[in-house]
């Protein structure tokens, strides 16, 4: 990928992502100029931090596929992989995946957050990744069903050191540059001293990591309780190891539905307690 590819790659990704969510029965995400620029900013971020993991597929002058992988410490993460709807099923996704996998450390751990698309899941299993099915919790938050919590406070850029320590403990790799990018994009930070943090947009958890279930529960509860009345949210990537979150999302009135899989290689399973982010792991 080159900087001049960002606009076309962003358009391919946005359409492919919307199509994937529609086929999976997941709620549509807003698609406006703000959302499109957020996609482009994310593509630029990884193009700067991980140029060797950033690839496009082209048909003539047209970009028809995009994939980006990041490497944080030893951990390789597939940040995104999308192919234009009109040319799906022609092996483009597999070739993009192969290109990004060359960016991984040989024998190092890997993480992929997969959609429910059977073709994607099969591709990742064939590449040697273990499959852990996930559900998403979606709906309008019922705040009166949530208990009060203590010990959660608003964070700031001064707390990035805490995110580094927690991520090292929970996922084996820090992502300070990614956290800074999200904070610059208007995402808020909440912390439990020395034990965990959540990145939040309104009542929407963008990512969450904690060293124990109690801290994770407090962060998720505070996140869901902190938005405006009537706000719809999605808590994604809840695997079987994230039972600490299940009664919270049910108490908040959210519905649960299968939504894909977390694929891991060289790890015992998905990080926990943890709510992953589709792009930043």
- Is 218 in contact with 192 (CB distance < 8 Å)? yes
189: domain CATH number is 3.40.630.90
pLDDT at 26 over 80: no
Q: Give me the mean pLDDT over the 212-241 stretch.
A: 93
3-state secondary structure of 183: helix
Q: Pick the last residue of a domain from 60, 92, 108.
A: 108
Within 10 angstroms of residue 8's Cβ, the number of other Cβ atoms is 17
Query: Which has the closest alpha carbon to 47: 88, 100, 97, 89?
Result: 100
Q: Which pLDDT score, from 0 to 100, does residue 228 have? A: 80
* The two structure tokens encoding residue 84: 């234009």
88: domain CATH number is 3.40.630.30
- Is 89 in contact with 119 (CB distance < 8 Å)? yes
Q: Pick the last residue of a domain from 108, 123, 157.
A: 108
Q: Give me the mean pLDDT over the 120-140 stretch.
A: 95
Q: Which pLDDT score, from 0 to 100, does residue 18 have? A: 87
pLDDT at 30 over 90: no
User: Which residues, 6+ apart, have CB-to-CB distance to 6 below 8 Å?
Assistant: 40, 43, 44, 47
**What is the side-by-side order of every strand in the sheet holding 196-201?**
152-154, 188-192, 196-201, 204-210, 274-275
How confident is residue 22, by pLDDT bands cut at 50, 70 and 90? confident
User: Which residues, 6+ apart, have CB-to-CB distance to 224 below 8 Å?
Assistant: 141, 143, 146, 203, 205, 233, 235, 248, 249, 252
Q: Which pLDDT score, from 0 to 100, does residue 229 have? A: 78
> 156 and 50 share a domain?
no
Please give the residue range of the domain that contains residue 63.
Answer: 3-108
> 54 and 104 share a domain?
yes
Q: Which pLDDT score, from 0 to 100, does residue 188 have? A: 97
Q: Which of 26-40, 50-64, 177-191 has the lowest mean pLDDT?
A: 26-40
Number of folded domains that form the chain:
2
The verdict on residue 223 lying in a domain is: yes
Instruction: Give dist(CA 232, CA 227) in Å, integer.
Output: 9
Q: Give me the mean pLDDT over the 140-166 stretch.
A: 95
> 159 and 223 share a domain?
yes
Q: Pick the last residue of a domain from 60, 88, 108.
A: 108
- Distances from the Cα of 40 to the Cα of 12, 31, 151, 220, angstroms: 11, 13, 36, 28
Q: Which pLDDT score, from 0 to 100, does residue 19 have? A: 85
The verdict on residue 179 lying in a domain is: yes
Per DSSP, helices labelled H in 102-227 are 118-126, 160-171, 176-184, 213-225
Q: Give me the mean pLDDT over the 31-37 stretch.
A: 87
pTM over 0.85: yes
Instruction: Give dist(CA 191, CA 16) in Å, integer.
Output: 34
- Is 151 in contact with 218 (CB distance < 8 Å)? yes
Q: What is the DSSP letter of 2?
A: -
pLDDT at 38 over 80: yes
């Amino acid at each position: 990928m080159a900087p001049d590819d960002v606009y076309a790659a962003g358009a391919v990704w946005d359409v492919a992502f919307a199509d994937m969510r529609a086929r999976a029965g997941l709620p549509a995400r807003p698609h406006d100029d703000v959302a499109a620029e957020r996609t482009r900013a994310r593509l630029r971020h990884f193009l700067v931090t991980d140029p060797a993991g950033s690839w496009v597929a082209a048909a003539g002058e047209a970009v028809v596929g995009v994939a980006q992988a990041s490497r944080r410490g030893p951990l390789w993460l597939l940040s995104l992989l999308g192919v234009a709807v009109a040319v799906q099923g022609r092996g483009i996704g597999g070739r993009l995946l192969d290109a990004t996998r060359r960016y991984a450390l040989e024998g190092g751990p890997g993480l992929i957050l997969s959609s429910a698309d059977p073709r994607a899941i099969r591709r990742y299993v064939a590449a040697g990744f273990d499959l852990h099915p996930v559900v998403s919790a979606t709906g309008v938050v019922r705040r009166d069903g949530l208990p009060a919590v203590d010990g959660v406070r608003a964070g700031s850029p001064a707390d990035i050191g805490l995110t580094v320590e927690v991520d090292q403990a929970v996922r084996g790799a820090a992502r300070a540059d990614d956290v800074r990018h999200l904070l610059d994009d208007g995402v808020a930070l909440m912390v439990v001293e020395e034990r965990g943090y959540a990145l939040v947009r309104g009542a929407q958890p963008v990512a969450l990591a904690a060293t124990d279930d109690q801290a994770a529960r407090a962060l998720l509860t505070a996140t869901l309780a902190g938005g405006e009345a009537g706000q719809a949210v999605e808590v994604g990537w809840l695997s079987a190891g994230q039972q600490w979150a299940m009664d919270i999302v049910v108490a908040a009135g959210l519905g649960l539905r299968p939504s894909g899989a977390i694929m891991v290689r060289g790890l015992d399973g998905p990080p926990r307690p943890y709510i992953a982010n589709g792009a930043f792991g």
